[in-house]
A and B are shown apart, each in its own frame.
Chain A
Amino acid sequence: MSKTLYEKLSDAHKISADSSLSGHIPADNGEYLLYIDRHLIHEVTSPQAFDGLMQNNRKVRCPEKTVATMDHSISTRSLALDACGPLNKLQLTTLVRNCDYHDVVLYPVGSDEQGIVHVMAPEMGLVLPGMTVVCGDSHTATHGAFGTLAFGIGTSEVEHVLATQTLRQSKAKSMRIKIDGQLGKGVTAKDIILAVIGTIGHAGATGCVVEYCGEVINSMSMEQRMTICNMSIEAGAKAGIIAPDETTFSYLEGRPHTPKGDDWQQAMAYWLTLHSDADATFDKDVNIDAKDILPQVTWGTNPGQVCAVSEPIPHPDNEKDPVTREAAWQALKYMQLEPGQRLTDIPISHVFIGSCTNSRIEDLRQAALVLQNKTIAKSVTAIVVPGSAAVKQQAEEEGLDDIFINAGFEWRLPGCSMCLGMNDDVLTDGQRCASTSNRNFVGRQGRGSFTHLLSPAMAAAAAIAGHFADVRNLQE
């Protein structure tokens, strides 16, 4: 029987057939145990999970399959754990204590491997095609770019994985998003995924595992594919996946944790089978023509409220669905914007380049290309936060830090930073930010602040102009 990639990944990780589960879990209830190959943890969603283990005298089943780093609660100005106050420090030292006690490898602040969990793990080759990957973080979908089944979980589930190396799952629906055609100038992976979310809606893929495919996806680098899969959750999807190919294999080869020698050959033979069968069917199919996608900017308070930079902000009354219409009016009211307004007329106060969506080396290169020999508007405060210590080092070797600093950006230490503002990188009431992050929710970057999502190149263009600007005009 033909299978989708999701079905192949899921079937390969099911613990035994239903019959052997009888007595524990009824055979006909659709639930099964899924084995987890890689568990990533960080300071925010793990303390209560370790606490639960301790209370029940349980141990971590496979400490070597869990990897920890520090990213959410840390400063981007200082390596000191107490730089953002005693509560953040306690959370970070709790992670140190838990990892130490349970023999889990931790890459702390200051180590060469530290970074945003979804940036550092692929860099180290910790995520391989065919794996199941989970993390107490909704952007775990990022790792689907490698042909893994990767999804975000809650803290109770983190505890379940630590104790059993499995999760209880039931089958998700499947959606295929095919993007064919020729990409226009100035259009990046971020613009594509924003346009996809704008098309299918903020909850358009709820309950689904999305497989991205088509000419445009095939020709993308791993960094670009990670940007696409990363934002699957912003359309409500459980996971996003892309079948592994030569691009995947050449990215992985030689990284610290990728298999070597015979193991590499054996793994490759398996990885080549990881694609949806030609006649596999999906619950939903979406086809997108790349030529219809222009550089995007969000205008509202969810990532689906987005339009091309060159278009006026859409009028909510043109929306047929009453719930979506009302949500659009509420979003415009919060954002202090009007229907029909031009994004290029809207001044910004801040620019943030970073986050697990757009802080990899290619993202920084794209922004730096726009910023070369330019300076940012006087009214703008701009920071660039590399996704990991390795990205930071690579960027510095390429001289990108000089380009950013000369343009007027602050060059920071790696972490999640202003994407969610769990440290001191927060905005205040009325500040408006052009941000390469993934969520423009009400107050996400600080109470009363306004977030507009866009690509790194578009963020750089906005920094120079002091308002949103069409990067294509700077690339003449």
Chain B
Amino acid sequence: MSGINHLTATALPFTKANVDTDQLLPKQFLTGITKTGYGKHLFHDWRYLDLKGEQDNLDFVLNQPQYKGANILIAGKNFGCGSSREHAPWALADFGFKVILAESYADIFYSNCINNLILPITLSAAMIEYAADFVTKTPDTKIEVDLELQTVVIGERKEVFSLEQHHKVNLLSGLDSIAQSLTLQKEIARHEESLPNWLK
């Protein structure tokens, strides 16, 4: 996988608080055994009027033509809470989202995003409100995200975001984290040798 650094793209505003991963991808789509093809089921129960997903709910923001092709999702507080299902970020990525802007995230969802090279950016409540207002009024607005500089620019406003250094390194490099950890096989083996019988 290649890393991400700079993105200038349009954004879709959906700032409902406490959106859980059951909403992002309902249970009936968890029976898959691959990582692909979940995009069409993203936000299924809000996006479609029927169980089968054949009738679009035109009131739902994902179905509104002015946001077609948006690569940035402006989300609400405590985004991605609940179930650990990685199917949620797989669906977001498959739909085309590369960056999420939100005031806060649930822990497991946040790690799952990083592991799928989706950049979850934490911004102030004021900046999220400003961003959502801005793209609601002018949907073709391009938001500029710079991972190296850790900045987000929307219209006249710019905000620096914080990110753990190791997450930044992983996102920028896109390196296989298992391959990196496997370079420490000797240290892992040493730990295993030191374990008492009952833990071996």
Interfacial residues, chain A to chain B (CB-CB below 8 A): 13, 15-16, 20-21, 24-26, 28-31, 33, 35, 37, 44-45, 47-48, 51, 56, 58, 61-62, 72-73, 87-88, 90-91, 94, 128, 130-131, 136-138, 152-157, 159-160, 163-166, 168, 170, 202-203, 206-207, 233, 236, 238, 259, 263-264, 266-267, 270, 302, 323-324, 326-327, 330, 420-422, 439, 441-444, 447
In the bound complex, do residue B188 and residue A164 qualify as a contact, i.e. CB atoms below 8 Å apart? yes
Within 8 Å CB of B165, what residues of A? 26, 28-31
Within 8 Å CB of B185, what residues of A? 164
Give the distance in Å from the alpha carbon of A233 to the alpha carbon of B26 in the complex. 19
Closest approach, in angstroms, between the C-beta of B151 and any C-beta of chain A? 20
Scoring B30, B32, B164, B182 by chain A CB atoms within 10 A of each residue's CB, the highest score goes to B30
Given A29-B165, A327-B17; A45-B31 close (CB under 8 Å) = no
Among B31, B33, B181, B198, contact of A33 (Cβ-Cβ < 8 Å): B181
Q: Is B12 an interface residue (CB 8 A)?
A: no
> What's the A-B contact tally at a CB cutoff of 8 Å?
198
Given A138-B108, A263-B197; A323-B22 close (CB under 8 Å) = no
Which 7 pairs from chain A and chain B are nearest by CB? A29-B165, A259-B198, A156-B115, A31-B166, A47-B33, A154-B112, A87-B31
Give the distance in Å from the alpha carbon of A91 to the alpha carbon of B29 in the complex. 12
- Interface 9-mer from B82-90, B93-101, B133-141, B153-161: B82-90
Give the distance in Å from the alpha carbon of A73 to the alpha carbon of B28 in the complex. 10
Given A35-B191, A131-B199; A442-B45 close (CB under 8 Å) = yes
Within 8 Å CB of B112, what residues of A? 154-156
In the bound complex, do residue A154 and residue B111 qualify as a contact, i.e. CB atoms below 8 Å apart? yes
Can you list 30 A-B contacts with CB-CB less than 8 angstroms, sorted by A residue number?
A15-B184, A15-B187, A16-B191, A29-B165, A29-B166, A37-B199, A44-B30, A56-B176, A73-B31, A136-B86, A138-B84, A154-B86, A155-B86, A155-B112, A156-B116, A156-B177, A164-B182, A165-B192, A168-B177, A202-B18, A203-B81, A206-B104, A259-B197, A267-B196, A323-B77, A326-B17, A330-B16, A422-B28, A441-B22, A441-B82
Give the distance in Å from the alpha carbon of A153 to the alpha carbon of B109 in the complex. 9
Within 8 Å CB of B84, what residues of A? 45, 136-138, 152-154
In the bound complex, do residue B181 and residue A166 qualify as a contact, i.e. CB atoms below 8 Å apart? yes
Give the distance in Å from the alpha carbon of A45 to the alpha carbon of B81 in the complex. 17
Q: Is B20 an interface residue (CB 8 A)?
A: yes
